[in-house]
Amino acid sequence: MKQRTFVNPIEWRGGVVRIIDQTRLPVELKYEDCTTVSEIWRAIKKLKVRGAPLIGIAGALGFLLGMHKARSKDGSGLLKEAKRLRAYLASSRPTAVNLSWALARMQTIVEALADRQKEEVFCELKSEVERIIDEDIQMCFKMSEYGSKLIRSGDRLMTVCNAGGLATSGYGTALGVFYRAHEEKKKIKVYACETRPLLQGARLTTWELMHNGIDTTLICDNMAASVMRGRNISAIFVGADRIAANGDFANKIGTYSLAVLAAYHKIPFYCVAPFSTFDLSLPCGSRIPIEERDIREVTSLYFKKPIAPAGVDVFNPAFDITPHELVSGIITEKGVIRRPFEENIKAIYGESVKNS
């Protein structure tokens, strides 16, 4: 079984961070080298790199880049720089907890090596990023194994946004489940919701699925209910940006609507996410910060062509919260968590708390 698809969305290349600029897909597969921390910050903010696990990895690589360029050679100077980098990079996007989780891991290394020289600290930081990436690859692989068990040959599946190789270290969470089922020779068909306003479903998910040989059909978001009924959807799999202690979770705007529709149509609704996406310091979903983005994402297609009258009032939250009551199971690298979520999440992840 593969542990990465054909995409490698981010990597460290001897002093620069190479990313795939996802805003250009599917028209062109263009790599971009980020040479400064502010370029990484902008790449995250502008969704050149996106998806919760990948945002965490990008943050860690941005931190590594910043420490690589740090003027201080040791101790308190490096620690000061680490604190500044952590706060700055964390400010790029607020909802995906993977970002603050990865940055906290990086800062812990700097704190633990406060008496060492810069070169040694840098080597350890580089190893930590490699560990974060390796762990992500392993977690995606394990999730795909558990998730695929819930899929039978002949199933018609649905997803929203992009929770694939492009959103992780290369395999995916929700899409990883589909890849695994496909590799196991199950015959599946996937309906991808386009995901307004930035069309991650239309641009990225269909691109990825098609490249991986999956039978894919693109639908507009407002077709989901008819497709669930008319095309007999078997199950829905989505990713997550942050999961609270009671199992409520934030994911791309439109996820909550799908969960409500799935409950009405009695279709199993699964969230697929690794430990790095859990935030056990938050008791429930209403505490998850929801990013609001530039209104031009709604009023004009890619900021080019107006599709709404100038001056119209716009609300543009990038995420919504799906309450745990609507969730059939949370597929993690440690197995599928079912109701009662609060108890079972605690049993699996203990008292671990994210540093935000």
Q: Which residues are catalytic?
A: 241
**Is residue 205 within 8 Å of 191, Cβ to Cβ?**
no
In whole angstroms, the minimum distance from the beta carbon of 160 to ligand MRU comes to 7
**Is residue 284 within 8 Å of 245, Cβ to Cβ?**
yes
* Nearer residue to ligand MRU within complex by CB, 161 or 288: 161
In whole angstroms, the minimum distance from the beta carbon of 59 to ligand MRU comes to 13
Q: Which of residues 136-175 bind ligand MRU (CB under 6 A)?
A: 161, 163, 167-168, 173
Q: According to CB under 6 A, which one of 165, 239, 247, 329 is a site residue for ligand MRU? A: 239
Burial of 209 (0-12, 13-18, 19+ CB in 10 A): buried
* Nearer residue to ligand MRU within complex by CB, 82 or 235: 235
Nearest CA to 319 among 296, 344, 293, 343? Answer: 293
* Nearer residue to ligand MRU within complex by CB, 171 or 341: 171
Query: Count residues contacting ligand MRU (CB under 6 A)?
Result: 18
Nearest CA to 101 among 60, 142, 135? Answer: 60
Q: Which of residues 110-139 bind ligand MRU (CB under 6 A)?
A: none
Nearest CA to 245 among 279, 221, 276? Answer: 279
In whole angstroms, the minimum distance from the beta carbon of 238 to ligand MRU comes to 6
Pairing of strands 189-193, 156-159: parallel
Backbone φ, ψ for residue 18 (5° rounding): -95, 125
Output DSSP code: residue 317.
B
> Which range binds ligand MRU by CB under 6 A, 121-129, 147-155, 235-243, 328-336?
235-243
Quote the CA–CA distance of 140 and 150 in Å, as a whole number.
16
* Beta strands per DSSP E along 311-355: 319-322, 329-332, 335-337
Q: Which of residues 191-220 bind ligand MRU (CB under 6 A)?
A: 200
> Which range binds ligand MRU by CB under 6 A, 84-92, 236-244, 306-314, 348-356?
236-244
Which residue's C-beta sits nearest to ligand MRU? 239
Q: According to CB under 6 A, which one of 136, 155, 194, 241 is a site residue for ligand MRU? A: 241
> Which range binds ligand MRU by CB under 6 A, 51-59, 65-73, 150-158, 217-225?
51-59
* Nearer residue to ligand MRU within complex by CB, 79 or 301: 301
DSSP, collapsed to helix, strand or coil, labels residue 33 as strand
* Nearer residue to ligand MRU within complex by CB, 16 or 290: 290
In whole angstroms, the minimum distance from the beta carbon of 230 to ligand MRU comes to 25
DSSP, collapsed to helix, strand or coil, labels residue 112 as helix
Dihedral sign, Cα of residue 249, residue 252, residue 253, residue 255: negative
Give how far the C-alpha of residue 32 lies from the chain's centroid of Cα atoms, to the nearest Å: 20
* Nearer residue to ligand MRU within complex by CB, 18 or 46: 46
In whole angstroms, the minimum distance from the beta carbon of 52 to ligand MRU comes to 4
Quote the CA–CA distance of 170 and 191 in Å, as a whole number.
21
Q: Which H/E stretch holds residue 66? A: helix 52-69
In whole angstroms, the minimum distance from the beta carbon of 207 to ligand MRU comes to 14
Is 51 a binding residue for ligand MRU by CB under 6 A? The answer is yes
* Nearer residue to ligand MRU within complex by CB, 239 or 247: 239
In whole angstroms, the minimum distance from the beta carbon of 284 to ligand MRU comes to 19
Quote the CA–CA distance of 298 and 307 in Å, as a whole number.
8
For residue 172, the cross-strand partners are 164
- Which residues here bind ligand MRU, judged by CB under 6 A? 47, 50-53, 96, 161, 163, 167-168, 173, 200, 239-241, 251-252, 318
